[in-house]
Chain A
Amino acid sequence: MFKSIKNYLSVIIITTLFIFFSIWWYYLNYIAIDPTELQAELYSATYGIIALLGGIEGLIIAKKWGGFKSTLGKVTLFLSFGLLAQEFGQLAYSYYSLVLGVEIPYPSIGDWGYYGTIPLYIYAVIMLAKTLNIKFTKDLFKKNIIALILPVALLWISYQIFLAGYDYSELNWEATLLAIMYPLGQSIYLAIALLIYILAGKALGGKLRSNVLIILAAFCAQYVADFVFLYTSNRNTWLTAGINEYMYLFAYYIMSLSIIMLSVKFQKIRQSINGK
Chain B
Amino acid sequence: MENKENVLLAINKIIEEQEAIIGPLARELATNTPGIKITKTGIEIDIDYKQAINNLSNTYKDIFGDIAVQVTRDILVKYKIDILARK
* A26→B25 CA distance, assembly (Å): 43
Interface stretch among A15-23, A42-50, A61-69, A249-257? A61-69
Least Cβ–Cβ distance between B35 and chain A, in angstroms: 14
For residue A144, CB closer than 8 A to chain B, the reply is: no
Contact indicator B25/A71 (Cβ below 8 Å): no
Interface stretch among A4-12, A95-103, A167-175, A266-274? A266-274
For residue B6, CB closer than 8 A to chain A, the reply is: no
Contact indicator A70/B68 (Cβ below 8 Å): no
- With a cutoff of 8 Å between Cβ atoms, the chain A residues found around residue B13 in the complex are none
Contact indicator B19/A205 (Cβ below 8 Å): no
- With a cutoff of 8 Å between Cβ atoms, the chain A residues found around residue B64 in the complex are 131-132, 204-206, 208-209
- For B74, the closest partner residue in chain A by CB is A133
* A69→B28 CA distance, assembly (Å): 16
Chain B: interface size category: 20 to 34
Contact indicator A206/B32 (Cβ below 8 Å): no
* A104→B51 CA distance, assembly (Å): 65
Contact indicator A205/B25 (Cβ below 8 Å): no
Contact indicator A273/B29 (Cβ below 8 Å): yes
Least Cβ–Cβ distance between B43 and chain A, in angstroms: 18
Contact of A270 among B25, B65, B66, B70 (CB under 8 A): B25
Chain A facing B: main interface SS: helix
Contact indicator A204/B65 (Cβ below 8 Å): yes
Number of A residues, CB within 8 Å of B: 26
Contact indicator A73/B25 (Cβ below 8 Å): no
- For A66, the closest partner residue in chain B by CB is B23
* A69→B18 CA distance, assembly (Å): 11
- With a cutoff of 8 Å between Cβ atoms, the chain A residues found around residue B21 in the complex are 70-72, 131
Least Cβ–Cβ distance between A205 and chain B, in angstroms: 2
Q: How would residues 15 to 44 of chain B score, 1 for a CB under 8 Å from any chain A CB and 0 otherwise?
A: 000011111110011001000000000000
Q: How would residues 182 to 205 of chain A score, 1 for a CB under 8 Å from any chain B CB and 0 otherwise?
A: 000000000000000000101111
* A204→B69 CA distance, assembly (Å): 11
Contact indicator A73/B23 (Cβ below 8 Å): yes
- With a cutoff of 8 Å between Cβ atoms, the chain A residues found around residue B22 in the complex are 65-66, 70, 72, 131
Given contacts A133-B70, A200-B67, A276-B32, contact A206 B24 (CB under 8 A): no
Q: Which 3 A-B pairs have the closest CB atoms?
A: A205-B65, A66-B23, A70-B23
Task: Identify the B interface with A (CB < 8 A).
Answer: 19-25, 28-29, 32, 61-68, 70-71
Task: Identify the A interface with B (CB < 8 A).
Answer: 64-67, 69-73, 131-133, 200, 202-209, 266, 269-270, 273, 276
26 A-B residue pairs with CB within 8 Å: A65-B22, A65-B25, A66-B23, A69-B19, A69-B20, A69-B23, A70-B20, A70-B22, A73-B23, A131-B64, A133-B67, A202-B66, A203-B65, A204-B67, A205-B61, A205-B65, A205-B67, A206-B61, A206-B62, A206-B67, A207-B62, A209-B65, A266-B25, A269-B25, A270-B25, A270-B28
| With A133-B71, A204-B67 already in contact, 17 other A-B pairs whose C-beta atoms are closer than 8 Å | A66-B19, A66-B23, A70-B22, A71-B20, A72-B21, A202-B66, A203-B66, A204-B64, A206-B63, A206-B64, A206-B67, A207-B63, A208-B63, A208-B64, A209-B64, A266-B25, A273-B29
